[in-house]
Structure 1
């Protein structure tokens, strides 16, 4: 790392439009206390002439969305680079094999970004059990009081079965937030053993068992070749009538055409924040189906939630400046099975 107490030289590398929302005044002041940095210089092109001098002297890059790839050519212009502190989730878009070969230390604010996604997911699960979307539409249509429990048998969340696919940061946080409720929790993750699943408050289950048993299935697996269309036509057919699919992970985890068929038939419900493709074509039936709540990739950090990621990154920068290892280090071997 670095000599404790020294302010490392840092450069901001991201889309310049991101910086004002990400670094509020308190975060910007903290950044300048922790590092020698020019907050007016925000690099989105490592070949830009104005960036050459600062990059050549940089020890740390503070990155976010819009950071260019850190390939061998980029790293050649940064001979002193020792660390990348990412103020967002996945680093796959800019951290390349060249970084690992150089021995650059990498940190991510994925844990901070997991919080709003988990909160959105929990709200979606509880609303699904209460049939909020259906009842709100029904009520708006006829504007009279009804016996909602008679119209929607099984209404409510008591002893509902929730299946969590993927014990990722977000999946684990969802399980933690759901633990106080009277729900039966299942979890499926090929890298999670039975003892670890029980420690999370859930019963481990095979994927097909989980799909068959759950009232709500929520997806938190990474986007990998082996997870593409994890929920395909055959597996979607295993879901019980009236079940809800919640996807705040990646659109490619679900076969969109197969899901559309199930939803158009009225057999399933869905809360979808990510799609494949993204954005959807304007004529997609997902925009108009009454049993679908579709949002435009808003579950992650947005608006007032962005400074949380900035401060998480600054926590890591402070650790680096103190000569301590990162609390949320990213390792090359873990990237093959993470977002």
Structure 2
């Protein structure tokens, strides 16, 4: 891992706990490695366990056959493993975990933040107050999240973590996703909409929390966005590619709805992107989760999985081929 990753994930006594848990071990600053020296290091050490971060160089597809045949487990502390681990290695039986649901509550917190910011038109008023000398007047319209109808597209870990954050505001919460048994929605006390058209047309705030798959690319287009009641809001904390961003910009510029975004099809968001400057859009630079101070949650999840692995017990939330294929 990089030194910064160590300092933000493995805070307090976590680094020492990690070293003790996987001793003997070697700590390598990932930023000091080239791809060539990384391969040489793997050959030299032939590790059984690799604890990795964002800066770790990719593993070659022949890692377990020619480079480091002892490698059994990659414990990746951040999120998507696709840039680090080729699919072939998982097919060969390499165990891989990531931060998984340990960060769900912070992403859910970001969704709540953006929902509140949209209802209060924070993007507009921040601009007015900072740059235009603006102030409210007798015609200013404000909105609250209390007693609003809220729809969540998707019902994974983030959506489930969002429910207890929303319930102090409203009990009018519904969701839509495919392939989830009815009893799951009943267990969480959430109404299941029959289709996306109902989800978008019958809620004041729609929160995008669905997993991105090839068939869901741009699934949220002009038709669905146009169904959100005027004055409502659309929030995306999932993946930018789920949304037709041109259609989203057009409807935001008309002022029909407020928009809150933490994710984009192209990241970083280009400096000249039309989203920038639209006062009906609240923009965040993909910092939904985990916040820097809560990276420790991901570290705790990793430490627990390492304990399980070292005790020959099943780890929690491993990256299966199905999970890998649904990852971005």
TM-score normalised by length of structure 1: 0.85
Q: Following TM superposition, by how much is the alpha carbon of 1:280 offset from its aligned partner in structure 2, in angstroms? A: 2.7
Q: In the alignment, is the contact (CA less than 8 A) between 1:176 and 1:200 conserved in 2?
A: no
What is the distance in 1 between the residues matched to 2:103 and 2:159?
12
What is the distance in 1 between the residues matched to 2:326 and 2:202?
26
Cα RMSD after superposing both structures:
2.5
What is the distance in 1 between the residues matched to 2:277 and 2:70?
53
1:297-308 superposed matches below 5 A:
297-308=286-297
Are 1:233 and 2:222 counterparts? yes
Q: Following TM superposition, by how much is the alpha carbon of 1:289 offset from its aligned partner in structure 2, in angstroms? A: 1.4
Q: Name the counterpart of 1:193.
A: 181
Q: In the alignment, is the contact (CA less than 8 A) between 1:108 and 1:330 conserved in 2?
A: yes
**Residues 243-287 of structure 1: CA distance to partner in whole angstroms, max 9, x if unpaired?**
211111111111111111111111111111111222233232321
Are 1:278 and 2:293 counterparts? no
What is the distance in 1 between the residues matched to 2:114 and 2:86?
35
Unmatched 5+ stretches in structure 2: none
Q: Which residue of 77, 82, 91 maps to 1:101?
A: 91
Structure 1, 235-244 or 14-23: larger mean CA deviation: 14-23
Structure 1 SS opposite 2:201:
helix
What is the distance in 2 between the residues matched to 1:275 and 1:97?
25
**Residues 15-40 of structure 1: CA distance to partner in whole angstroms, max 9, x if unpaired?**
56533332225111011110121124
- Report how many residues are paired: 322
Distance 1:263 1:329, change over 3 A: same
Q: Name the counterpart of 1:217.
A: 206
Q: In the alignment, is the contact (CA less than 8 A) between 1:139 and 1:145 conserved in 2?
A: no
Q: Which residue of 110, 128, 137 maps to 2:118?
A: 128
What is the distance in 2 between the residues matched to 1:129 and 1:292?
11
Q: Name the counterpart of 1:20.
A: 7
**Residues 202-237 of structure 1: CA distance to partner in whole angstroms, max 9, x if unpaired?**
111111110001111111112221111111122211
Unmatched 5+ stretches in structure 1: 1-13
What is the distance in 1 between the residues matched to 2:153 and 2:6?
34
**Residues 278-312 of structure 1: CA distance to partner in whole angstroms, max 9, x if unpaired?**
22332323211111111111112242222221221
Q: Name the counterpart of 1:70.
A: 59
Structure 1 SS opposite 2:51:
strand
What is the distance in 2 between the residues matched to 1:144 and 1:224?
44
What is the distance in 2 between the residues matched to 1:185 and 1:244?
14
Are 1:30 and 2:20 counterparts? no
Q: Name the counterpart of 1:7.
A: none
What is the distance in 2 between the residues matched to 1:144 and 1:180?
30
Are 1:156 and 2:144 counterparts? yes
Q: In the alignment, is the contact (CA less than 8 A) between 1:165 and 1:218 conserved in 2?
A: yes
Q: Which residue of 287, 297, 304 maps to 1:315?
A: 304
Structure 1, 281-290 or 238-247: larger mean CA deviation: 281-290
Q: Following TM superposition, by how much is the alpha carbon of 1:338 offset from its aligned partner in structure 2, in angstroms? A: 4.8
Structure 2 SS opposite 1:306:
helix
Q: Following TM superposition, by how much is the alpha carbon of 1:91 offset from its aligned partner in structure 2, in angstroms? A: 2.1
Q: Which residue of 63, 83, 86 maps to 2:73?
A: 83
